Each structure stands twice: as structure tokens, then as C-alpha cells.
Structure 1
Amino acid sequence: MTHTHAVTTHGELVTKRYVSWARDEHLREWTALQALARHAPDLGPAPVSLDPSGPVLVMSRVGGRPLAGALTPVELDGLATALGQLWALPTADLQPIPLTGLLPRVRADIASYCAVGVIGAAYEAAATWLSGPEVDSLFLPGTPVIGHGDPNLSNYLWDGSRVRIVDFEDSGVSDLSFELANLVEHLAGRETDWSGFAGRFPVDQRRLLTARRLWAMFWLTLLRPGGPAEHRNPPGSGERQGERVLGLLRRG
């Protein structure tokens, strides 16, 4: 696994040293934290200083434990509240998240890999869907939001009463459907029942399903035999992901 930063804590301050920043990770995080400080100061860390020559970012420490596993109803409520706050903030000054790069990446991997069984069936169905017109509709203008960019549950801290958000190095202007789909389809959230979660937000359900299909196919390309995430996940993860892709494609 590639590490993009190192984190140290001194009292109430956290220092983040970026190991790589080809996508302006330090600037993305600093800008997002400034937006939070202006409009939702208790939603995440407060920005303290940025040394772009390092780059090194200093921020306040946020308490709580990372969410994980099957979220309880109370934790889901807290996550929905926190994301609702984030997605209601103005997007001025933030760089866009390069969402258009996801589609050609998935298309290329799906087209270049041959498989059998449920993974082969999922790849074949994905290739057909990716060649159709529906997926391209995702890149028409949607509902712009501040996207966190990395919805691993470990980036949401629960203190027993509310959720706060950390690790904004992948943040930027995104689309509400993309962000919800990325959260629901992320491997970290597979034990959680997300039924009804998206209904708490003003999202187009068809657009959301399209985005979920694309994200599910992205995870399939990582979990398939020989994929970059296969060795980090339990045996059979690729097959289960193939079944997930097929299930999403069967939805009307």
C-alpha cells in the first residue's frame, strides 16, 4: 500500500507530512479545512498552518473513534448529519475532483481482462453497460458539493454523540451522486445496511444507481484475481464483488 503522508500528534495539534503530493493533496486538504473553519468549524480539524515547502500541514486534533464494521442506527444518523453539513457548504476556492478519469480507467481494465465464472459474467455485463449511453450521463452537470474523496469509514470519527470528518487530502468539488455512491460502494462499508440512507439527501436516484454501478465495477477491477487489492482482502472477495456488480446491473 502506498502511504501519502505521515502523521504525528503533540497535545491538541496534529502534524501531517505529505510523502507524495502529485495531486496537490496538501492544498486540497488545507483549502477544505479552511472552508470548514468558515462555515462548519466543529465538523473537522481546524487548520493551523501550512508549510508548502515540506509540505507540512498542522491542524487541531479531533477526538473520537473511527467508524467501522456494521454501523448502528445512531452512528448512521451521525454520519448522515455530518455529510449533510459537508455537502451543504459552498464549493468556492476548491479544486475539482477529477471524476472523468474514473470512467476510462474502468473501461480499460474491463476490456483487457478475461475471466470465468461469476467474475467473467460480471466483466462481460460490465463491458456491455460501459459501452452504452447511460454511463456518460454521469458527466453531465449534477449537484456540486464539497466531496471528501475518500469515504473509508475510518475517516469518520464517532465520539458517542456525533461524527466528525478527517483526512481531506482527496477532497474537492464533486457531485452528490458520485459521493453517495462512493460511500455506499466502498469496501469499508460492506457490513453496513445502507437501505434508505441515500433517501436522506436530495439526490436523483437514477443518477445514483448509475454512479454506484461504476464504483462497483471499479472495485471489481481491484478485487479480481491478480488485482491490486486481491491480496489485502479475504478469499472470495472478487467473486462477491462480481455478484454485487451483476445485482446492481439487474436493477431497473
Structure 2
Amino acid sequence: MADRFSTHSVEIGDDVVSKRYRSWDRGEPFREWTALTLLAQHVPGLAPTPVEAAFDAHPPTITMTRLPGRVLRGEHATGEQISAVAAALSRLHRAIPTRVVEALEPAPWGPAIAVDKIRKLAGEHPDLGEGPDVRQAYQQGSAWLDSAEPDRLVANPHPPVLGLADGNHANLLWDDHERRVRLIDWEDSGRTDRAFELGELTEHISRIDGTLDAEQLLGHIDLAPGEAERVRGFRRLIALGWFLQLGPDGAATPHNPVGTLERLAERVLHLLG
């Protein structure tokens, strides 16, 4: 389960993985333990099984079963793999009863926080350079953020789901033997909005490292009436959030290859078009 995209200290044994947290101010160990426990009960096999928790250790540590496979970040996902991602998400979003999900803490990253943060980023007028596509993406994106559309995304008319609240494609673990996808790294998980989760996954900046066709993925997911429009809105929001952090002094710039800003500008324009 450890890979070059990991932000955690992990010790990998033959059958188990022990995860030591580098931060826990958002309750990360408890969030992950809670999610893994619920998943083991309601969706066995979708995620690691929890084994032991040491919440009072320094750093806090939890131990879980080790899963086979490789992460999909950095890969060009095949049609079979995309279908398997959709199947994993559908199982996750349907299997846990709504009453159980409603009792969970909200995820620390969700619609209201994202709208506020990304509007703030745009309002700071970050230095994104003078490229024509970049300027146009910033202008159109700022106009969309100033409209009422992002506010309409905040109220969720659909039942909440348990979500990762992290669209990093390194959280998608492909098993070549069983031909299935499992989901890992639940430290930011909690009660959330399914449309937001889908927007976060399809537009997370990790998509730059490889290919996971968003339209093909969403085509495999049975969306409720009106939900597709909300997913489209969240895709715009998340893509804009990454784009606005890619200037010379942007927080996301050091972690991404040259040309990412221009590629994100094209993506934003496509989504707003």
C-alpha cells in the first residue's frame, strides 16, 4: 500500500500495514478507523480491514490488513479499470444505510468549505502568467464563481454518503488477479455529498499524471435526477481550485510538471464551455 504518492509513514508486513500519522488535528486516525470499521461491516472487501488502533500513541497508529495491487495514479486506466472504479464507488455509496451515514462526522473537505476556499483563491488574483488560455480561464472561472451557481451546490437534496473526501488517484488500488478496485487512505473520510465526491475524483490534479477518462467513468454510474448537473458543477469547482494554485508561487506548482497550468486552463475552459 505504500507508494511514491504516500503522505504517511507506513510499515508493511506480510499480512498487515501499520500507518503512523504525520498529522491528526482533524481526527485523521479516528476517521480512518471509523470508516474501515463501517466498510468491513457493510462492504467487506472494498477497503482494508481494521486490525488494531493506538489512538493515544505518538504518533497515533492504526494497523489494517494488507491488500494486493497497485495504485492507478500515474497509469493510463483501461476501460476495464474504469468500470471497476465505478463499481467500487457504487458499492460504497449504496451499501451503508443512510441512517448510519447521517450519524458520522462531516468530512473536513466538502461543498461549503470548497466554495468558500476557491472563491477566496480567485479573489486574491493569483499571478498565473499571461498566457491567453490562462487569462481566459481565470476570467471565465471568476465570473462563474461570482454567480449564484456555486451557492446552489452547497445544499444537497440527495442522501449523504461515506466518502474519502480526497480524489487522489493514488487511493484507487487495482488488483490484477481479481480484476477489481479497492479504496485506500480514509483519514479524511466522513459524511459527504456523492456529487462532490465524483467531482473531486474526476478533477483531482492527480489526473495529470495519467489518464482516467471522466466521461467514461461517470457513464458507468447511475446518477439520480438532477445529480449529473451537480457533478458538473463540482467538477468546475474542483478544477478551478487546482488551477488557481498553479501560478509561480502557487501551492500546487512545486508538485506538478511544467505545463500543468496550461493543461488545467484548457480543462477549466472545457468544463465551463
| TM-score interval, smaller chain | over 0.9
Deviation at 1:193, TM superposition (A): 2.0
Among 30, 35, 39, which residue is 1:36 paired with?
A: 39
Residue 138 (structure 1) aligns with: 153
Deviation at 1:3, TM superposition (A): 7.5
Deviation at 1:232, TM superposition (A): 2.1
Residue 77 (structure 2) aligns with: 71
Is contact 2:36-2:50 (8 Å) kept?
A: yes
Residue 236 (structure 1) aligns with: 259
Among 101, 106, 114, which residue is 2:113 paired with?
A: 101
Deviation at 1:93, TM superposition (A): 4.1
The more displaced of 24-33 and 223-232 is 223-232
Residue 62 (structure 2) aligns with: 57
Residue 193 (structure 2) aligns with: 175
Where structure 1 has 5 or more consecutive residues not aligned to the other structure, the ranges are: none
Among 197, 202, 206, which residue is 2:217 paired with?
A: 197
Q: How does 1:15-26 map to 2 (within 5 A)?
A: 15-26=18-29
Is contact 2:82-2:216 (8 Å) kept?
A: no
Evaluate the alpha carbon distance shift between residue 4 and residue 235 of structure 1 in structure 2; reply closer, same or farther with a 3 A threshold: closer
Letter in 2 for 1:66: V
Deviation at 1:119, TM superposition (A): 1.9
Letter in 2 for 1:152: N
Is contact 2:88-2:181 (8 Å) kept?
A: yes
Is contact 1:142-1:176 (8 Å) kept?
A: no
Deviation at 1:184, TM superposition (A): 0.7
Letter in 2 for 1:137: R
CA distance in 2, matches of 1:3, 1:163: 18
Deviation at 1:111, TM superposition (A): 1.2
1:209 matched to 2:240 = no
Among 244, 247, 250, which residue is 2:270 paired with?
A: 247
C-alpha RMSD of matched pairs (Å): 1.9
TM-score, scaled relative to structure 1:
0.93
Residue correspondences, number: 250
The more displaced of 161-170 and 141-150 is 141-150
Deviations 1:63-114 (A, max 9, x none): 1111132210111111111111111123154211142211121111111125
Is contact 1:153-1:189 (8 Å) kept?
A: yes
Evaluate the alpha carbon distance shift between residue 211 and residue 71 of structure 1 in structure 2; reply closer, same or farther with a 3 A threshold: same
Evaluate the alpha carbon distance shift between residue 103 and residue 137 of structure 1 in structure 2; reply closer, same or farther with a 3 A threshold: same
Evaluate the alpha carbon distance shift between residue 43 and residue 57 of structure 1 in structure 2; reply closer, same or farther with a 3 A threshold: same
TM-score, scaled relative to structure 2:
0.86
1:220 matched to 2:243 = yes
Evaluate the alpha carbon distance shift between residue 4 and residue 159 of structure 1 in structure 2; reply closer, same or farther with a 3 A threshold: closer
CA distance in 2, matches of 1:193, 1:11: 34
Deviation at 1:50, TM superposition (A): 1.1
Residue 182 (structure 2) aligns with: 164
Is contact 1:4-1:20 (8 Å) kept?
A: no
Deviation at 1:34, TM superposition (A): 0.5
The more displaced of 130-139 and 235-244 is 235-244
Letter in 2 for 1:9: I
